[in-house]
Structure 1
């Protein structure tokens, strides 16, 4: 693979996720923090109008506006659709070198800890994931797409890409602990990229755990679409913990327990994420895989 020349750090794709917003602002104020000798790093504030108003978005979720056909459709003109096209032009400017790697910063109200969400399973992404997992046991790795599945999220614009998802963090709130953990992880990633460009090997372990997306579960609803049950207390906050068939997942307003009816053990994440109520998602389900990848030779 060729050398990495341009890296984008993007925060605030959702305007009320302040960790990414203020990390971008900090890096803009102190650009030396993200400077490395072998590549250019630039920052981008994803949704400035939504941030200004303290909202996730203005018209629609910006992180669902990056389908290729939509980016080239002149009839789509909502604020976020226009903003997606602007971001696309900044990351892939006509006649100039496109960005080689995207780091997309997010936060969640779910108990996701420090999660690396891969844009795909490109060998470089897996090697980086293995390295980050080996030096920081708090890092979990999640692949949110399935093979052949089209994606409309920002990280789909670049083959080498991932999101850093941290939580639980309230919407519209800065959490100093998660802010610092995210910044520390960014610096480790940038140092890894620098070493990669210099031909160095930074592997500590080639084995790591990957949580692979397999589906979602919505809240029980009535014929009018109104929620009829809550996340069961035994499941609340148990992101990345095993969920077995027959175990509780919901509790109705009449205190009736609804159990998981799947056929095998899964590992739910984004449990009770506040922003996902409107999307009909109570949790995402994953399978847990142990991966061993080939080490890069010097």
Structure 2
């Protein structure tokens, strides 16, 4: 079977607080900073509080969503007196950990998030990247007491808008349900375990281990669904109880998705798909009730570190 060789992954960024009210990443980064974790075997690890102003205010963001500021266009936009804080901060982070798309960018970028949706432990991946698919498979093989899933966003990296796209290889770890501004021990431990397994994988990879190729299933994002609204744009229905907390459960035509405030059921139309980010608190402002995905099997080759 084909084997692909990669340079060692010698620099890693682990970020929390990209959204200032998603507490797991905030506290993992604080712990890392406290214990001065900056070298693990062959890799230097940088822990970064991405949006300190939003963390201090315990709010998702102060002026605009930082995790939508990392497209090439926004990163290269001029800074003026009216530039929002988060866009300034995005350019600072890009200078510190990137620049995005360059040889100087960190080798592996991990951004830690929480969701109010019942998604369990979920990795968000962009392009088909053999490194991140191997990490996903590795975490899956180690954390067998719970489902570990991945969502693939099929977006060119230049248009990728989230922080982890700054790294040569990047992934977001998205875990829920956890309310905004709340820290749950079970979810904290789940994310810490996933981060620890990623660092172990990294050490094994850098030390010359070959990771055999294989297959993984992931959910490829297709589209977003908004809440039903009236002519004034006001929401007229909530997520149906049968859909609530059922992220990644197959949605078939005719299955209930919304319940109107007058008690009527709105049903799913179209093909069988998988919902995720169901009733995510932060997505009300984005006019998203849930996303829909298709389940896809990805095949990937064996990989090994390239020796000098």
Task: Note if 1:260 corresponds to 2:268.
Answer: yes
2:21 to 16, 27, 30: 16
2:64 to 48, 57, 60: 60
Output the CA distance in 2 between the equivalents of 1:290 and 1:129.
13
Q: Secondary structure at the match of 1:234?
A: coil
Alpha-carbon contact 2:113-2:172 (below 8 Å) kept? yes
Alpha-carbon contact 2:217-2:296 (below 8 Å) kept? yes
* C-alpha deviation, 1:69, in angstroms: 1.6
Q: Secondary structure at the match of 1:85?
A: helix
Output the CA distance in 2 between the equivalents of 1:291 and 1:68.
27
Task: Note if 1:87 corresponds to 2:93.
Answer: yes
Counterpart of 2:8 in structure 1 is 3
Counterpart of 1:249 in structure 2 is 257
Counterpart of 2:120 in structure 1 is 113
Query: Counterparts in 2 of 1:169-208, with a 5 A limit?
Result: 169-203=178-212, 206-208=214-216
* C-alpha deviation, 1:136, in angstroms: 2.0
Output the CA distance in 1 between the equivalents of 2:44 and 2:157.
31
Output the CA distance in 2 between the equivalents of 1:242 and 1:146.
24
Q: Secondary structure at the match of 2:302?
A: coil
Counterpart of 1:27 in structure 2 is 32
Alpha-carbon contact 1:104-1:155 (below 8 Å) kept? yes
Counterpart of 2:298 in structure 1 is 291
Give the aligned CA root-mean-square deviation in angstroms. 2.0
* C-alpha deviation, 1:30, in angstroms: 1.3
* C-alpha deviation, 1:148, in angstroms: 7.5
Unmatched 5+ stretches in structure 2: 1-5
Output the CA distance in 2 between the equivalents of 1:159 and 1:96.
8
Alpha-carbon contact 2:118-2:245 (below 8 Å) kept? yes
Output the CA distance in 1 between the equivalents of 2:99 and 2:62.
25
Larger CA deviation: 90-99 vs 150-159: 90-99
Alpha-carbon contact 2:126-2:155 (below 8 Å) kept? no
Output the CA distance in 2 between the equivalents of 1:208 and 1:129.
8
Counterpart of 1:158 in structure 2 is 167
Q: Secondary structure at the match of 1:41?
A: strand
Q: Secondary structure at the match of 2:303?
A: coil
Counterpart of 2:140 in structure 1 is 133
Larger CA deviation: 73-82 vs 52-61: 73-82
Output the CA distance in 1 between the equivalents of 2:52 and 2:158.
29
Counterpart of 2:233 in structure 1 is 225
Q: Secondary structure at the match of 1:31?
A: coil
Point out which structure has higher relative CO (alpha carbons under 8 A, 6+ apart): 2
Alpha-carbon contact 1:102-1:155 (below 8 Å) kept? yes
* C-alpha deviation, 1:149, in angstroms: 7.9
- Give the number of equivalent residue pairs: 295
Output the CA distance in 1 between the equivalents of 2:168 and 2:274.
26
Q: Residues 111 and 87 (structure 1 numbering): CA distance in 2 closer, same or farther, change over 3 Å?
A: same
